[in-house]
Amino acid sequence: MDVLDQLGAVKEGKMSRRAFTRSLMAAGVGMATVPLSKMAHASDGDQATYFTWGGYDIPELFGEYQTKNGALPNFAIFGASEEALTKMRGGFVVDVSHPCNQAVPRWAATGLFQSVDVSRLAHGADIIPELTQLEGNQDGDNLWMVPFDWGSTSITYRTDLVELDGEESWDMLWDERYSGRLGSLGAGADAWWVGAIKAGISFDNIDSDEAFEKIAEIMRAQRPHIRVYTDDTTSLEQALASGELVAAMTWNSSAVTLAAEGVPVKFANPKEGALTWVCGLMIHKDAPNVDRAYDVIDSLLSVESGKFMVNDYGYGHSNKNTFDHFDEETLVGLGLSKNPTDILGSGHFQKPQTQEWESKMNALFEQIKAGF
């Protein structure tokens, strides 16, 4: 019945006000639930949702998934993995998420994830075992994180603008000569650990009060020289390309991307050692598409994805067969090796820390970034 007819009916006394209100309410509820019903409808043929860093949301990594499921997975993007965890703790449900190894025990402790059954993965047998066995990834029979990519955090610098003072060193990011033209990743998960390397603190003791003080002092000394702290790697890359920044703390991919565009940059191999990391994939305990979650992981573990990761991002890959497609020289040029333990062992590898440590570190680092 049309609303005007109804109004007329009410006026003439043919329809009770209550009946009118009821139909109005029905219309209202209908309107309000349209998006819900649409969502419910859309979800039955839906793709898995992959919650990841910007740059991993690209078709090149999902060839296998696309062939199998006819479309790309849905992507949700985070800027820093702690932000992702917060969002999921707030009720955001995804199928697969992409944290790094040092965060895994804390992530698993939230009870938001299910352990992964490697036998369900087509490429499960090809995973480099050393990466799976890293501290934190496994607990008892549970495998929480399937390793996917690994690499290092170091300094990408403009070879034409930076005059090296001896060897490559983390000192470059504290160099007064380039004050205001240095950049840094914004998350403590990288920057604070680099501070520890610069302060000469072993990662075994990074949780002591003394370590906090020393690192804070180092980070405060750096802050006036930093033009921008950001986890938006595109901003850092653009700033390096334009010469706005002469050096910045980045992951491997920034250097590889910039070099591919002809910008004269080099990814430093600091004498104190780089910061090394392994990231991977975790499945949400309420994942609506568990089968497709495994498809996402399989697709990322495939050799095709691995070739792209090594070639275009300069990251290591967890599928051992990937490296058969590259010669030793190429790998060394990218700062990689067929044996990830060589690389991970030569740098400083992050160790899982408690949630209290993480909160304290982040709070302190945010204060320092704000100038206190």
Closest to 105 in 3D by CA, of 135, 132, 136: 136
Q: Report in angstroms how near the CB of residue 359 gets to other proteins at its nearest.
A: 5
Q: From residue 50, give the alpha-carbon distance in Å to each of 47, 92, 285.
A: 9, 12, 14
Q: Report in angstroms how near the CB of residue 181 gets to other proteins at its nearest.
A: 9
3-state secondary structure of 146: strand
Evaluate whether 300 touches 77 at the Cβ level (below 8 Å). no
Would you say 80 or 121 has its CB closer to other proteins?
80
Q: Report in angstroms how near the CB of residue 170 gets to other proteins at its nearest.
A: 19
Would you say 120 or 223 has its CB closer to other proteins?
223
Q: Scanning the structure block, which residue is given the tokens 């109804």? A: 6
Q: Report in angstroms how near the CB of residue 363 gets to other proteins at its nearest.
A: 5
Q: Which residues pair with 51 in a beta bridge?
A: 76, 97
Closest to 20 in 3D by CA, of 38, 36, 4: 4
Rounded Cα–Cα distance for residues 334 and 316 (Å)? 9
In the chain, the amino acid numbered 195 is: G
Q: Report in angstroms how near the CB of residue 371 gets to other proteins at its nearest.
A: 7
Max intra-chain CA distance, the chain = 95
Would you say 12 or 356 has its CB closer to other proteins?
356
Q: Report in angstroms how near the CB of residue 292 gets to other proteins at its nearest.
A: 28
Q: Report in angstroms how near the CB of residue 353 gets to other proteins at its nearest.
A: 12
Would you say 330 or 359 has its CB closer to other proteins?
359
Q: Scanning the structure block, which residue is given the tokens 């750096």? A: 222
Would you say 20 or 63 has its CB closer to other proteins?
20
Rounded Cα–Cα distance for residues 355 and 110 (Å)? 10
Would you say 122 or 228 has its CB closer to other proteins?
228
Is the sign of the CA dihedral 366, 368, 371, 372 positive or negative?
positive
Would you say 61 or 218 has its CB closer to other proteins?
218
The residue count for the chain: 372
Residues lying near other proteins in the complex (CB under 8 A) are found at 80, 82-83, 86, 89, 106, 109-110, 180, 187-188, 223, 226-229, 239, 242-244, 354-356, 358-359, 362-363, 366-367, 369-372
Q: Report in angstroms how near the CB of residue 207 gets to other proteins at its nearest.
A: 14
Q: Scanning the structure block, which residue is given the tokens 């990519």? A: 149
Q: Report in angstroms how near the CB of residue 46 gets to other proteins at its nearest.
A: 25
Computed over its alpha carbons, how large is the radius of gyration of the chain? Answer: 25
DSSP string computed for 58-78: SGGG-HHHHHHHSSPPEEEEE
In this structure, what DSSP letter does residue 252 have? H
In this structure, what DSSP letter does residue 246 have? S
Evaluate whether 185 touches 222 at the Cβ level (below 8 Å). no
Q: Report in angstroms how near the CB of residue 203 gets to other proteins at its nearest.
A: 20
Would you say 5 or 366 has its CB closer to other proteins?
366
Written as six digits, the tokens of 105 are 């025990």
Would you say 8 or 243 has its CB closer to other proteins?
243
Q: From residue 8, give the alpha-carbon distance in Å to each of 3, 4, 26.
A: 9, 6, 19
Would you say 68 or 89 has its CB closer to other proteins?
89
